[in-house]
Amino acid sequence: MTWHTEATKFLFFTGKGGVGKTSLACATAVRLADAGRRVLLVSTDPASNLSDVFGTDIGSGTPTPIGGVANLNALNIDPNAAAQSYRDRVVGPVRGSLPDEVIRRMEEELSGACTTEIAAFDEFTGLLTDAQTVGRYDHIIFDTAPTGHTLRLLTLPGAWSDFLDTNTGGASCLGPLSGLEKQRLQYHSAVESLTDADRTTIVLVSRPQKAALAEAARTSTELHAIGVKNQRLVVNGVMPDTGSDDPLARSMRQRDAEAVGAMPGSLRSLPADEVVLRPVNLVGVDALRALLDPFDPSADFGAPASSPEAAETRRLAELVSAVEADGHGLVMVMGKGGVGKTTIAAAIAAELARRGYGVHLTTTDPAAHIADAIGGGADRLEVSRIDPRAETEAYRSRVLETKGKDLDLQGRALLEEDLRSPCTEEIAVFQAFSRVIKESQKRFVVMDTAPTGHTLLLLDATGSYHREIERHAKSGTRFTTPMMRLQDPKQTKVLIVTLPETTPVLEAAGLQDELRRAGVEPYAWVINASLSVAETTDPLLRARAAGEASLIRAVHAEHAARAFVVPWQAEPPVGVDALLRLVGEPISPAATGGMERGSQ
């Protein structure tokens, strides 16, 4: 393993959700700090779980020393805190000198997702360019959000730099450009750091799975296109040979080998390492230190697994029966990256279509390829993706055709200039999201959402729009906003997907808290890829399963109104037939309380 022994000043860990970016970033930080290096570990994920991994309350703004690891500090970039700080800087100087109504309007205008994004982005670029911070540490390690969000983060320095260089109208969606000169220089400097191979390394993390390796290859290509070329590949969670002849373990080893053997050619040219699957959850400094140690197949992997009670392992078919009772509606599948949201969403959509409903399966994840999960498709099932680029271009065209049609040349030029702002993408994606929500009034729409942090930003935009409509509505006027539909359990059922592991369960609970603060009550949890309900005799897999039963019971007792457990699959459930098998047998009318199919 060489990525940490040859570490540059900046290390970025990126990849598809759930591949182990946080574990490897944390383990690398600990290993470098143990070697006497001064290390700052930074999470750019809006759904950061650094605090859970280290068992330490890690905040934003000021780095937190990590107990038990000399030389290591950690920091979260909190988008909401960054946005509030940004608003204070903009509004603070004029508070008291302008009317209260003007101040309230300024604060409302700065409450959207665009402000949240740019504020967090400013903190990120500051860590790359601030001489005092850069000089204080030997290494700054970034644990990033899942791929789609991270690609946007890494391309934004160039996008905003270009926008500020070419915008001559003197204004942007964030206010007068005269106040953004500092950012202009900061963004140029950030681009230089990201493209300097002597200073920056991108560690592409993947599981030994075809989809994850394909995602890593796409990421590698896109990063090359913006000049970020110093890349390494780490294949994480490879099933080792423990000496057992367990069919599940044997299938996992074969699947891993086939996936790695067939990896895209663009990855084969990169320096690469493998990290084997470990028998314990990677929480705590001791577990992180052991992650990068050589694997010992003769080790005692721990106690045998205890299985959850049968009542705690209800099938997905029962969940689909409950969803179909209304005959239409929105099913939003949410969770941290890598927990299997796409698979669960595709399985529910395929089963609803099999039962005779027209279904629209879509995704808001910039990195999702949901069509791959369905395979050849199915009758009555439409599959789509809210593509940020396509939606942005369509939005720009609509605005130019409407607001721009009667403008003179100068006015149209200013409008075109404003529409080149990276913030335009956030508006376009929100509008597409709103159209899909409205569509669910007539048929089933199953939405595979982006990983938690990105989805919460989208919900922030939905809430901002709702407040704007409320503020301008005349007294007594009736209206329905997308947020109101999300808050209505007859219109929307939110499903939280998690894994039977400590950190994913804690993150799912945190997501549920955020949803409740927005007035959205989750309908059910889905605990995916459970070894405790799969039959295995392999000692490593049984050790991993041993910790699951108590977590599944805790989900039932402390978090979820309803919970459904999906077993670990020896083969990836790709294609309609495999997805239907994942759902299980249909539930009889007697078992579901006589639910009848609603109107189609």
Of the chain, the percentage scoring pLDDT greater than 70 comes to 74
Same domain, 333 and 286: no
Distance separating alpha carbons of residues 151 and 168, to the nearest angstrom: 27
Question: Quick one: pLDDT at residue 116?
Answer: 62
Residues 229 and 118 in one domain: yes
| pTM (whole model) above 0.75 | no
* Residue 27 near residue 292 (C-beta atoms within 8 A): yes
- The answer to whether residues 238 and 352 belong to one domain is no
Residue that has been written with the tokens 């004029």 in this structure: 94
Extended strands (E) in 96-152: 139-143
Dist CA 372 CA 485 (whole Å): 29
Instruction: Give percent of the chain with pLDDT exceeding 90.
Output: 18
For residue range 300-344, what is the model confidence (pLDDT) as tens digits? Answer: 776 554 555 544 567 888 999 999 988 888 898 988 777 888 899
Q: How much is the pLDDT for 470? A: 54
Residue 393 lies in a domain: yes
**CB-based burial, 481-492: b 16+ in 10 Å, e otherwise:** bbbbbbbeeebb
Least confident of 239-248, 442-451, 494-503: 442-451
In a domain, 345, yes or no: yes
pLDDT tens-digit series, residues 90-148: 777 777 777 777 677 666 666 655 566 566 667 777 777 788 888 899 999 988 764 44
> What are the residue numbers of the active site?
18, 20-23, 45, 503
Q: Which strands make up the sheet holding 10-14, listed edge to edge? A: 64-65, 72-76, 39-43, 139-143, 10-14, 200-206, 231-238, 272-276
Q: Which domain holds residue 572?
A: 311-583
- Verify that 549 and 512 share a domain, yes or no: yes
Same domain (yes/no): 263, 337: no
- Rounded alpha-carbon distances, angstroms, from residue 168 to 162, 298, 355, 417: 12, 67, 57, 8
| Same domain, residue pair 315 and 422 | yes
Query: How many structural domains is the chain composed of?
Result: 2
Q: Which residues have CB under 8 Å from 4's CB, separation 6+?
A: 28, 31, 32, 292
Judge whether 296 lies within some domain.
Answer: no
Say whether both 176 and 240 belong to one domain: yes
Residue 372 contacts residue 457 (beta carbons within 8 Å): no
- At 514-563, the pLDDT tens digits run 888 777 889 999 999 888 887 788 888 888 888 787 888 889 889 998 89
Residues 6+ apart with CB under 8 A from 46: 78, 79, 120, 145, 149, 452, 453, 454, 456, 457
CATH of the domain at 533: 3.40.50.300
